[in-house]
Amino acid sequence: MDIQQVKRRFGIIGNSPGLLRGIDIALQVAATDLSVLITGESGTGKEIFPQIIHQHSHRKHSKYIAVNCGAIPEGTIDSELFGHEKGAFTSAHESRKGYFEEADGGTIFLDEVGELPTSSQVRLLRVLETGEFIRVGSSKVLKTSVRVVAATNVKLEQAIRQGRFREDLFYRLSTVPISLPPLRERGHDILLLFRKFALDFADKYKMPSIEPSPEARDLLLAYKWPGNVRQLKNIAEQISVIEPEREISAAKLRQYIPFQQGENLPAIYHPQPANDPSFASEREILYKILFDMKQDVNDLKKLVFELLNNADRGQVSQEHAHLIRKIYAEEGPTLTDVRSSTQGDLNITKPGAFVARKPEPQDIVEDTEEIFEESLSLEDMEKEAITKALEKHVGKRKAAADELGISERTLYRKIKEYNIRAN
């Protein structure tokens, strides 16, 4: 059976290369018993491909069971998949076969396989490798011959890095991978699907079919369709039922296309895969970090400016002196063009020194400036502060120590260290 016959049999609409490639792979692998992993965004129609594989395999006359792993509670999923014995848990009033036992000889489709808990992943891996499993509450090993087709909209490679999915199970499931393209990458398939849905709903509700205007068709092609085929079908049904006019304008269509903060606004269609959708959020985070850093730098500039003004008046505390040492002596940044509304411009040219420019009257006309250099050496500042305190208190060390906020013993040690002559 060729691809066109498969499309007619299973109601598949579209001619995009990615879709046709997926159908071709499904037909080629159907005759084998290899495990197949179908990946794609939610709403891309992944559930059709396990049926194609089953119906074209030698198992087509046996059971086909579809299981949504994400819809089964974690506490009961092992019982659902592998069965349980009577008394295995509180509500186990009798023994029960699991899906793998029921589907023996047939095909089992595990949808949303990325949602399986780790303990169930171990059991599933054993079934895939040996065909063996054990019911919950039993010690007897049972055998099954089941073809497993799995599907997920989760990026399993990322789940593996995060420790949420077993790497060995991933490789066992993805013996043959099939990747389905999102609707936004299928080009004019969007118009074909919209037309098909419009005709279906017209027949269902006994009314004329809706028809998009040329501008509306452009809008359909430009929209991102985050919900894919499922979203397109939903919108086609809404418009078919609600709108009295059968020709749908672009303005009317926009009323049915949801968006949040511009995320899903129509964009120019491009047949190549779009960039990673996580980039937008990562970029916003980077912008926020940069803005926060800018604010921190501005705050630091203000603090340093105040410290340098206090240093000029000999009013630097030990804490401030330590901060100046850390900023300029250890890290050695260069700070330029720090301005204050009430002070002159300040240019930090190197660690341990600054150049302060005080505006002169001739600045207004000649745009000249006079440069004053002053040492910011912590030792010189500390020595000068001690000398001034001793002079102020006429050599009385206790009073000078109180003035400086240090102990008399520390003051005595500093006098000896700097060789200060006390009166």
**What residue segments make up the domains of the chain, in order of their start?**
3-181, 184-254
8 Å CB contact between 354 and 347? yes
8 Å CB contact between 226 and 260? no
The alpha carbon torsion through 134, 137, 139, 142 (nearest 10 deg) reads: -30
User: Hey, is 203 helix, strand or coil?
Assistant: helix
**CA-to-CA dists, residue 258 to 169, 183, 231, 240, 342, angstroms:** 38, 16, 10, 17, 53
Query: What is the C-alpha end-to-end distance of the chain, expressed in Å?
Result: 111
DSSP bridge pairs for 373: 355
Report the alpha-carbon distance of residue 334 to residue 29 in Å, rounded.
65
Specify the CATH class of 184-254 in words.
mainly alpha
Domains 3-181 and 184-254 share a fold: no
314: left (phi over 0), alpha (psi -120 to 50) or beta: left
One digit per residue, the tens of pLDDT, for the chain of length 423 reads 689 999 999 999 999 999 999 999 999 999 999 999 999 999 999 999 999 999 999 999 999 999 999 999 988 999 999 999 998 888 888 999 999 999 999 999 999 999 999 999 999 999 999 999 999 999 999 999 999 999 999 999 999 999 999 999 999 999 999 999 999 999 999 999 999 999 999 999 999 999 999 999 999 999 999 999 999 999 999 999 999 999 999 999 999 988 644 445 554 444 544 455 444 555 666 666 777 777 777 777 777 666 666 655 555 555 655 656 555 554 444 444 444 433 444 444 444 444 444 445 544 444 444 444 445 566 777 888 888 888 888 888 888 888 888 888 888 888 888 888 765
Say how far residue 40 (Cα) sits from the centre of its chain.
17
CATH architecture assigned to 3-181:
3-Layer(aba) Sandwich (3.40)
